[in-house]
Amino acid sequence: MSHELNQPKGCDQSQDERDCHVIQTSQWDLKKDRSGFKSVKPFRSGYFGASIKLQPGYTAGVITAFYLSNNEAHPGFHDEVDIEFLGTTFGKPYTLQTNVYIRGSGDGKIIGREMKFHLWFDPTKDFHHYAILWSPREIIFLVDDVPIRRYARKSVATFPLRPMWLYGSIWDASSWATEDGKYKADYRYQPFYGKFMNFKASGCTAYSSRWCHPVSASPYRSGGLSRQQRQAMNWVHRHYLVYDYCRDYKRDHSLTPECWRS
């Protein structure tokens, strides 16, 4: 079963030239039976968020995902921006993985740009809000409005600029999701599920006029992060960052020049 985030009537063009502002408060329970949701229109920039509550207990090998992708338009050569919750075993915390793929780097020739975090709360106890802010100059990942990662555009080759749809899904990734595939999905613990509500999507669709202005994370609408936001992100990195691809010296960083370009 799949759901569509429908554009409400009257949102084709707002006064600030930003169209398709969607707020959907109904709760959707996604189970690992090919269920998911997708936005009706592709976006070229915007703020995309949802409140998510994860399943407790044994969820190894199972990923709950909230992401942007244009794989349907560019199969084998697509872009993607991910928030993924990597399932876990009893007594261990979930890992939140953020990732960025550009022009097919996730299609058989993996060049992931993963940053992984533990959270400062138990994501199975209550709903928390997770969001992606994507503009032509940067991608910012947020948890309860706290920025946890900023991925800046340092070159066209390392930044996704083609329109993407918003998706949510839950799927079996036993080969790698939990401790590099050490623990697999165990279907004795099914159904595996993720609960989604309070969807927000506000931005410029692929069909917006050139006057449509990208959203900004900064309260000054100038792009980037405010000083307070940078301090909050640094706090997250000091205490909860568990993997940064740029600091993985086993990787070939000639393929990820954004790691060393200022």
pTM for the model stands at 0.88
Residue 215 is predicted with a pLDDT of: 78
Task: Domain count for the chain, please give it.
Answer: 1
Residue 231 is predicted with a pLDDT of: 98
Residue 9 is predicted with a pLDDT of: 35
State the Cα angle at 193 between 6 and 166, rounded to 5°: 30
Domain carrying residue 143: 2-8+16-259
Question: What residues of the chain score a pLDDT lower than 70?
Answer: 1-35, 106-108, 217-223, 262
The domain that holds 224 is classified in CATH as 2.60.120.200
Structure tokens at 138: 């940067």
Structure tokens at 95: 């890992």
Residue 128 is predicted with a pLDDT of: 98
User: Which residues are the active-site residues?
Assistant: 80, 84
- The CA distance from 194 to 64, in Å, is 6
User: CB–CB of 104/110 below 8 Å?
Assistant: no
User: CB–CB of 201/48 below 8 Å?
Assistant: yes
Residue 82 is predicted with a pLDDT of: 98
Q: What is the pLDDT of residues 95-143, one digit of tens each?
A: 999 999 998 876 667 788 999 999 999 999 999 999 999 999 999 999 9
Pairing of strands 138-143, 128-135: antiparallel
Residue 106 is predicted with a pLDDT of: 67
Bridge partners, residue 200, by sequence = 23, 49
Residue 2 is predicted with a pLDDT of: 41
User: CB–CB of 54/194 below 8 Å?
Assistant: yes
Residue 149 is predicted with a pLDDT of: 98
Residue 241 is predicted with a pLDDT of: 99
Residue 261 is predicted with a pLDDT of: 73
